[in-house]
Amino acid sequence: MNSKNQPFTHRQYMLSDNFEFFHYKDNTPLEVEYHKHDFFEIYFFISGDVTYIIEGKSYTLKPWDIILINNKELHKPVINHGAIYERIVIWVNPAFISKMSTPDSDLNMCFESTFKNKYNLLRPGTETLNIIKVILGKLNRILFADSFGAEILKELYLTELIVFLNRAYTDSDLVDIGNDVSYNSKINKIINYINQNLSEDLSLDALSSRFYSSKYHLLREFKKHTGYTPHEYITLKRLITSKELLRSGMSISDVCTECGFNNYSNFIRSFTKAFNISPKKYAKKFLP
Tens of pLDDT, residue by residue over 112-164, are 876 566 689 999 989 999 999 999 999 999 998 889 999 999 999 999 999 99
Work out the average pLDDT over 214-226.
94
Instruction: Give 146 or 197, the one with higher predicted confidence.
Output: 197
Q: Compute φ and ψ for 44, nearest 5 degrees.
A: -105, 115
Give the end-to-end CA distance of the chain in Å, rounded to a whole number: 41
User: In the prediction, which pLDDT does 2 show?
Assistant: 47
Counting residues of the chain whose pLDDT is more than 70, the rounded percentage is 95
Question: With 50 as the cut, is the pLDDT of residue 1 above it?
Answer: no
User: In the prediction, which pLDDT does 176 show?
Assistant: 73
Domains, the chain: 19-180 (2.60.120.280), 184-284 (1.10.10.60)
If phi > 0 it is left, if psi is from -120 to 50 it is alpha, else beta; for residue 13 that is beta
Exposed / middle / buried, residue 238 (Cβ in 10 Å: 0-12, 13-18, 19+): buried
Question: With 70 as the cut, is the pLDDT of residue 174 above it?
Answer: no
> What is the C-alpha to C-alpha distance for residues 138 and 97, in angstroms, rounded to an integer?
19
Give me the count of residues in the chain. 288
Give how far Cα 245 sits from Cα of 38, 92, 98, 120, 255, Å. Answer: 13, 19, 16, 24, 6
Share the mean pLDDT of the chain. Answer: 91
The model carries a pTM of 0.90
> Going along 83-239, which residue ranges are E strands?
85-92, 121-122, 181-182
